[in-house]
């Protein structure tokens, strides 16, 4: 059986590995001339790390990931700590796998190496997918140069602006959330004493928040800042903005945040749009995966992780059913409730971090800090449904 995968990102490569491990012949078609990712950090929570381990990818990441000391929350303007909860070692103990930070480019490289070790020449770059067609016994990817590639199934892992999803379900109807996001990666050596802490840290404030993490064994500081505005930017992962605008957005904030912005070589800026869960993810022998199936806001740091879960469940479902249509239907039924809940939780978190008035902030965050100190286990328990899930066993 031959699988054609549109998209050479995290979800596309992971699904190719998962299918190859089950005996499929796989080919990945990526529109970029080479597999490369712009600078960005990812948080791989235990539910995602379990999938990477099962795929045989985790071993390719040793030495380049970073395990944060804790998760914490700070007040954006003065850096005052709201809570600090241990994570290094604790995640393994509680959820059975570590909580890791990784550079997106490093994860893509690790996935590609693992896939090439299973089947060489799998990834075909410079192939722009235009659409698909299918029959009772096969499916075909159509390229914009007029060529076509035929196989048994097609997987649309072609991201936020998926052409496979558009053909299958029509144009999507995104809703602007009223937020734009800033992103930067800066060497720790350039930050000195103003380096953000070696944690997964949320900085909260008036109609904005930021998240700082560490990458590449702690040598890089990663920054994502979300700001409410009625003037949206393009919905593009690669769009950039000016340093002056980013500094203005976080004017008066803690030195750790402003120094990262000031020292960033490139500042990416994009608008955040929300999308409702889709009524289906497949049509016959064609299925969607990752951002193509369930785009989500970054406020739970689950976008890449949910794509990894998708990859495992999709492959396992195909393995358990007699026809692709039945396998894809089972995949959707097993995934839709969970991914919709994560989508909803991500949108809720963005609102949670943006209390407008000082009274509102302290009225909410002070009790949160007290609860975290008095009952850290109960605080962590709120993430059990996310981090404790094991896609490699719960299919």
> 10-residue block means of pLDDT along the chain (395 residues)?
97 98 97 78 97 97 96 93 94 97 96 96 95 95 96 97 97 90 96 96 93 97 95 80 96 97 95 92 98 92 96 97 97 98 87 68 78 86 95 84
- What is the pLDDT, as a whole number, of residue 232? 76
Q: For the chain, list the domains and their CATH numbers.
A: 2-36+106-173+276-350 (3.50.50.60)
pLDDT at 34: 82
pLDDT at 357: 63
Residues comprising the chain, all counted: 395
Say how far residue 145 (Cα) sits from the centre of its chain. Answer: 31
Q: What is the C-alpha separation between 347 and 350, in angstroms, rounded?
A: 5
CA–CA separation, 358 and 350 (whole Å): 17
Retrieve residue 351's tokens: 């609102």
Q: Which pLDDT score is estimated for 356?
A: 57
Residues 228 and 299 sit within 8 Å (Cβ to Cβ):
no
Q: What local confidence, expressed as pLDDT, does residue 27 receive?
A: 98
Question: Hey, which residues does 203 pair with through a beta bridge?
Answer: 74, 210
Q: What is the model's pLDDT at position 367?
A: 82
Contact 99, 43 (CB under 8 A): yes
Q: How far is CA 74 from CA 77, 83, 219, 222, 253, in A?
A: 9, 7, 22, 16, 11
What confidence score (pLDDT) does residue 38 get? 67
CA 337 from chain centre, in angstroms, equals 18
Provide the pLDDT for residue 170. Answer: 96
Q: Are 289 and 156 in contact (CB under 8 A)?
A: yes
């Amino acid at each position: 059986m031959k699988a054609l995968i549109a998209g050479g990102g995290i979800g596309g490569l992971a699904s190719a590995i998962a299918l190859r491990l089950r005996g499929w012949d796989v080919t990945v078609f990526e529109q970029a001339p080479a597999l490369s990712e712009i600078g960005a950090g990812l948080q791989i929570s235990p539910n995602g790390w379990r999938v990477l381990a099962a795929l045989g990818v985790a071993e390719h990441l040793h030495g380049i990931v970073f395990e944060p000391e804790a998760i914490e929350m700070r007040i954006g303007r003065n850096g005052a700590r709201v809570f600090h909860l241990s994570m290094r070692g604790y995640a393994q103990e509680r959820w059975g796998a570590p909580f890791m930070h990784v550079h997106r480019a490093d994860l893509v490289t690790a996935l590609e190496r693992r896939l090439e070790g299973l089947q060489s020449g799998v990834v075909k770059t410079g192939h722009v997918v235009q659409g698909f067609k299918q029959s009772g016994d096969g499916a075909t990817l159509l390229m914009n140069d007029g060529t076509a590639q035929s196989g048994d199934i097609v997987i649309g892992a072609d991201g936020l602006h998926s052409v496979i999803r558009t053909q299958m379900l029509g144009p999507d109807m995104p809703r602007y959330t009223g937020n734009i996001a800033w992103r930067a990666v800066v060497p720790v050596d350039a930050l000195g004493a103003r380096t953000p802490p070696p944690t997964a840290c949320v900085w909260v404030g008036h109609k904005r928040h930021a998240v700082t993490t560490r990458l590449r064994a702690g040598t890089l500081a990663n920054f994502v800042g979300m700001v409410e505005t009625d003037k949206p930017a393009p919905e593009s992962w690669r769009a950039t903005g000016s340093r002056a605008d980013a500094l203005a957005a976080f004017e008066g904030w803690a030195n750790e945040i402003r120094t990262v912005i000031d020292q960033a070589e490139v500042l990416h800026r994009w608008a955040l749009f929300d999308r409702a869960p889709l009524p289906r993810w497949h049509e016959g022998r064609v299925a969607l995966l990752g951002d193509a199936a369930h785009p989500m806001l970054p406020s739970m740091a689950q976008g890449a992780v949910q794509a990894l879960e998708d990859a495992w469940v999709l492959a396992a479902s195909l393995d358990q059913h007699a026809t692709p249509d039945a396998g894809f239907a089972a995949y959707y039924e097993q995934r839709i409730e969970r991914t919709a809940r994560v989508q909803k939780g991500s949108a809720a978190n963005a609102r949670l971090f943006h209390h407008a008035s000082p009274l509102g902030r302290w009225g909410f965050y002070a009790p949160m800090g007290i609860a975290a100190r008095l009952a850290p286990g109960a605080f962590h328990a709120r993430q059990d449904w996310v981090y404790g899930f094991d896609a490699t066993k719960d299919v």
